[in-house]
Structure 1
Amino acid sequence: MHTPSTAEIAHWLDGAWRLACRDPAGMARFDGSLDTFWKSFFAAVLALPFFALLVMLRDLPVEPRGGTGVVLVTEAISYVASWAAFPLAMVYLSAAIGRRDRYLAFIAAFNWSAMIQVTLFLAATGLAALDLLPDGITQGIAFGVTMLVLAYEWFIVRVGLGVGGWIASGVVFLDLALGIVINGLAQSIYS
């Protein structure tokens, strides 16, 4: 895999943004080629600093089991696992629902959408960390951002795989469940 060019990154982020604005034409930015698919994992590199900030802003144990090094290694492994688990699961699920032909473009769109998702989560988490608003308001904002991100994922699944609402909901639930399991396992190591 070659590193994507700045123009390619801008092209794919534009597609992710269009999808965030509920414009199905955003999927046209993802051509379904193997090259586009593999280059979409570069979004993990771009999202990494945002993820690192989210980890730093999260309430970590005062004395993490094994020390800070264990937290860093565990979170790094968790990050890689979270980027791999969903695409791997979707290899089988997309075939099972008869959408294998849309898999490459869908995963590319889903991967680039992570840039928008992590930006929203970082804004909500950063606002909470500033402690300028009552907890109830910041929790409400965090809940709202989570619902917005889930709706965004649902739209990408519907448009990207060309499936109905129930199947799209199931795919989003799969992504959510994988994330909860991976993060839960990671945090259980050092908490």
Structure 2
Amino acid sequence: MTPSSPVGSPPTPDTTPTLDEILRYFTGAAELMLGRPEGLRRLDLSADGFWSSFFAILVAVPPMALSWVQFESLPRTAPLIVPSPALVYTAHALADFLAWVLPVVVLMLVARPIGYSRKIVPLVVATNWGGALITWALVPYWLIGLVAGDGELMAGLGLVVALGSIVLTARLTSTALGRDGFAALAIVLLMLVMSLFAYGLVMELTGVRLA
């Protein structure tokens, strides 16, 4: 893929990454999580690469869908009005989509005022592909949840998984920003707040329990 348009332009069909490119981006994201800045070289930081990095959301859909199925398999008190399966899974998808995109929108809005205009492209590209990689890495956890159900084991594993995801995201963000730990912490907190907001908003709008 070659740069052909400014970041503000819409993506074109030829910006869709191939499987080989996706695997290369995953490798780059993993290297960033390990604190290796050379991981950025494996990512496409061109204008087209910026837009094509949002394809990571589609790449992450299969494992995200597994997480929705695992969550809905847990026993809980039946609501007064039982929503349709279509509404339930639409609510899950919408909440995850908003939780993914809202932090990016906020960062793009504040990038220039805080002097991060030149860092927004590597930051967004790295976090998009890093988010997809982490989502796929959680597949074993959700499969265990489908088999084991709810309980102390899953609660303990869930805490480890949540903390691990936060740490890896923070390391990836810090490395992508040139080892700026303070900014990475602020961005991860923004992601968490936006995730909570997205889930709360969708639950309020649909009446579907998501957490």
* TM-score > 0.5 by shorter chain: yes
Q: Give the superposition deviation at 1:119.
A: 2.3
Identity of aligned residues (%): 23
- Unaligned ranges ≥5, structure 1: none
1:187 has 2:203 as partner: yes
Aligned positions, number = 190
1:54 has 2:78 as partner: no
Distance 1:37 1:87 in 2: 12
Which residue in the other structure is 1:26 paired with? 39
| Counterpart contact for 1:94–1:100, Cα < 8 Å | yes
Which residue in the other structure is 1:70 paired with? 87
Task: Give the match's secondary structure for 1:4.
Answer: coil
Matches within 5 A, 1:3-152: 3-59=16-72, 62=78, 65-131=82-148, 135-152=151-168
Distance 1:161 1:22 in 2: 11
Q: Give the superposition deviation at 1:65.
A: 4.1
Cα root mean square deviation, aligned? 2.3
In structure 1, give the amino acid aligned to 2:160: G
Q: Give the superposition deviation at 1:163.
A: 5.5
User: Taking structure 1 as reference, are residues 121 and 6 closer, same or farther at Cα in structure 2, changes over 3 Å only?
Assistant: closer
| Counterpart contact for 2:66–2:142, Cα < 8 Å | no
- Unaligned ranges ≥5, structure 2: 1-11
TM-score w.r.t. length of structure 1: 0.87
- Is the deviation greater in 84-93 or in 120-129? 120-129
TM-score w.r.t. length of structure 2: 0.79
Q: Give the superposition deviation at 1:80.
A: 2.8
Q: Give the superposition deviation at 1:124.
A: 1.9
User: Taking structure 1 as reference, are residues 23 and 163 closer, same or farther at Cα in structure 2, changes over 3 Å only?
Assistant: closer
| Counterpart contact for 2:32–2:176, Cα < 8 Å | no
For residues 77-130 of structure 1, the C-alpha deviation after alignment (integer angstroms, 9 at most, x for no partner) is 223323321211111333233121011121111111122211233322322332
| Counterpart contact for 1:33–1:105, Cα < 8 Å | no
